[in-house]
Amino acid sequence: MNVKTTCASSHKEVHWHQINWRQCHQQVKRLQARIVKATQEGRHGKVKSLQWLLSHSFSAKALAVKRVTENRGKNTPGIDQETWSTPDAKSQAVLSLKRRGYKPLPLRRVYIPKNNGKRRPLGIPTIKDRAMQALYLLTLEPVAETTGDMNSYGFRPERCTTDAVAQCFITLGKAVSPQWILEGDIKGCFDNISHEWLLTNAPLDKVILQSWLKAGFIDKQILYPTEAGTPQGGIISPTLANITLDGLEKVLMKKFPRWTRTKPKVNMIRYADDFIITGNSKELLENEIKPLVEEFLKTRGLEISREKTKVTHIEEGFDFLGWNVRKYNGKLLIKPSKKNVKTFLDKVRKITKGNKTATQVGLINVLNPVIRGWANYHKSQVAKETFSSVDHRIWQVLWQWAKRRHPSKGRRWIKEKYFKKVETRNWVFRSETGNALSDGTPEMVTLVKASDTPIKRHIKIQADANPFDPKWEQYFEHRKLLKMLDSFQENKRLQKLWMDQKGICPICLEMIREETRWHVHHILWKSQGGDDRKSNLVMVHPNCHRQIHNQRLKVAKPVSVP
C-alpha cells in the first residue's frame, strides 16, 4: 500500500501518511458551506444531494477516520474488540466506509457512576460504526447549526458552558430583568427520544439513521433491542439530541413575543438537556410555560423530570452548569456552586488518600492538572473568594497527608520538609524533582493555587454565529486566536511559537487549536544534533508530526508575525 493519493473518491489504494490533508479539509468545508446556503434558502432537495456527495467523498471519509483514531476513545473497542492503531489499518478503514451493505454491530454497554450514586449507561459502538457516525456528522452539523435554537450551547462547535452562563447574566443581570426562573431537566433524554420522530424529522440519511437506532446493545453477553433513544457514547448522538430539542425556543418566542405590551419576559437558555426559562411571574411559568414545554417534549417521546424541575425566584438563586446564579440586594452574582466545590474537594481528597505512599513530586504532578482545570472552568465568574477558600481546604488535606507520613516527627520538621517559603509566601507545597536546570540550580515543582488564576471575563459567542457559514469565518478565527492565547498563559514559550506561525500547521496549513492538540517538532531532529532553541522548534498537529517522520519531510521555520 504505497500509492500516493489526494482527495478524490475513486482511489482503490490509500497510504495514510501521504493523504493531502489540506485538500481534504478544503473540500469538506466547501461542501459544508454549500449545505448551509441551501438550508438557508429552504432548498431541502439540494441539501440532500450535497449531503450524499459529502458522505461519499474520499475527503470526508479520511477526516472521519482521522477523528476517531485521534480522540480520547481511540483505544476503546466495541464488541468486536477492534481498534485502528496502525497506518495500514487506517488506510483500509477509509476504503471500508461504504453505505452499500453497511450494517452496524450492537453497542457494548458500560456504566459510569453519577454524582447522585446512580449509574449512567453508555453504549460503545465499534470503531467502524464510530467512523461512519463521524462521516455522517460532517453532513448533519451544517444543517443543525443553521436551524438550531440561538440560545442552545451544549455539544455544538465553538460553543461552551461559559457562553450559556454568560447569556444568563445578560438575561437576568439588569434591574428590569425577569425575576422568576423555571429550572428544567429532561428525564432520560438520550434514552427516550422517539425513533419515529427522529426518522421523520432528522435531516439525515434515513436508512443509515434507522440502522443505528435499531442496532441494539449487548450487556453481560445478552443482546437487547433498542426501541427508543439514541445511545450516549455515540459521536452523532449529542447532535441528534440537539435536533430533537431545537424548536422549543422558537415556540416560546411565538407564543410570548417580547414586544407585546404585557412583556412576559420569556427567555430560554439551554445546554444539552438542561435548560432554564425566565418569566415575569411564577404563575406564568407554572400554568402556561411548563404545560407548553411538556406538550413540546411529548411529541418527541420525552418528559420533564419532576424531581429536578422547579420554579425559583432570582433572589433564592439556582444552580446551572456548576455555577450558582443569584441576586444579592439587586446585584446578580454568578459563583461556583456549593455542590460543584464539594465534588471538586472530594476528588482532591480521593487523589491524596490514594497516593499515601507517593512522593511529594508525584502527588503534585497528579493534583496540578485537576486544580488548574477546575480553576480555569470558573475563572470567568465571581470566584476569587471561592478560590481562596478552596486553597485553604486543600492545604488542610495536604497537611494531614504529610503528618501521616511522619507520625514521630514534630510539626516544625514536617513543615520545613514539605512546605517552603517562596518570596513573600509561606507554606508553599513544593519539592525538588531531582533534576537540575541549565544554570545548575535544582529543578522545583510547586502545587498550583486556585487563587493564582486571574479572573477574566468571557466574551460570549454571538447567538446567530454559524461556524460553517463562510461569512462568519473571520469572526471565528478571532475567537480561536483569543482562546489559544488564553490557553498558553502559563507557557509563554508555546504561545510565542504559536504566534510566530500565526497558529497554522506548516504541514496541512490548518489551524492548530486546543481541540486538535499539537506536537512541538524539532526541525533538525535531536538524533541528528538538533537542540531545544526556539529557532529549531515548530508546532504541528499530532498526525502531521507522524507524517513528518514517516516520510522524513523537511519543515521550514515559519516567518514571525510582524
- What number is the average pLDDT over the span 329-356? 96
For 196-226, what is each residue's pLDDT tens digit? Answer: 999 999 999 999 999 999 999 898 888 888 8
Residues 543 and 502 in one domain: yes
Task: Note the pLDDT of residue 314.
Answer: 96
CB 401 within 8 A of CB 479: no
pTM over 0.75: yes
Measured CA to CA, the distance from residue 169 to residue 519 in angstroms comes to 38
- Same domain for 394 and 423, yes or no, is yes
Q: For the chain, how many structural domains are there in total?
A: 2
Domain identity same for 518 and 439: no
pLDDT above 70 as % of the chain: 95
Look at 175-184, 186-195, 226-235, 313-322 and tell me which has the smallest mean pLDDT: 226-235
Give the alpha-carbon dihedral of 452, 453, 456, 460, to 10 degrees: -170
Report how far residue 402's alpha carbon sits from residue 407's, in angstroms, rounded to the nearest whole number: 9
pLDDT of residue 12: 61
d(CA 377, CA 371): 10
How does the average pLDDT of the chain come out, rounded?
90
Residue among 338, 329, 450, 433 at smallest CA distance from 392: 450
Is residue 480 within 8 A of residue 513, CB to CB? The reply is: yes
Domain's final residue, options 401, 421, 452: 452
* Residue 478 placed within a domain: yes
Whether residue 510 is found in the same domain as residue 408: no
Residue 537 in domain: yes
- pLDDT above 70 (res 2): no
Q: What pLDDT is stored for residue 261 in this prediction? A: 59
- 194: which DSSP letter? -
166 phi and psi angles, rounded to 5 deg: -65, -35
Residue 467 burial by Cβ neighbours in a 10 Å radius (0-12, 13-18, 19+): buried
What CATH number has the domain bearing residue 537? 1.10.30
Pairing relationship of beta strands 107-113 and 217-219 according to DSSP bridges: parallel
478-490: average pLDDT: 83
Contacts of 433 (CB under 8 A, 6+ apart): 361, 442, 443, 444, 445
Nearest to 296 by CA among 341, 334, 247: 247
Query: Quick one: pLDDT at residue 558?
Result: 59
For residue 326, tell me if it sits in a domain.
no
Domain that holds residue 400: 338-452
For residues 359 and 356, give the distance between their C-alpha atoms in angstroms, rounded to a whole number: 9
Residue 154: all three cell numbers together:
451544549
* pLDDT: which is higher, 354 or 115: 354
Radius of gyration of the chain (CA): 26
Is residue 9, in this structure, part of any structural domain at all?
no
pLDDT category of residue 559 using cuts at 50, 70 and 90: low
Strand pairing report for 274-279 and 267-271: antiparallel
In a domain, 527, yes or no: yes
Q: Is residue 368 assigned to a domain?
A: yes
Terminal-to-terminal C-alpha distance of the chain: 44
**Tens digits of per-residue pLDDT, 385-432?**
999 999 999 999 999 999 999 999 999 999 999 999 988 888 999 998
377 and 430 part of one domain: yes
Domain final residue pick, 425, 452, 479 = 452
The residue among 452, 482, 515 that closes a domain is 452
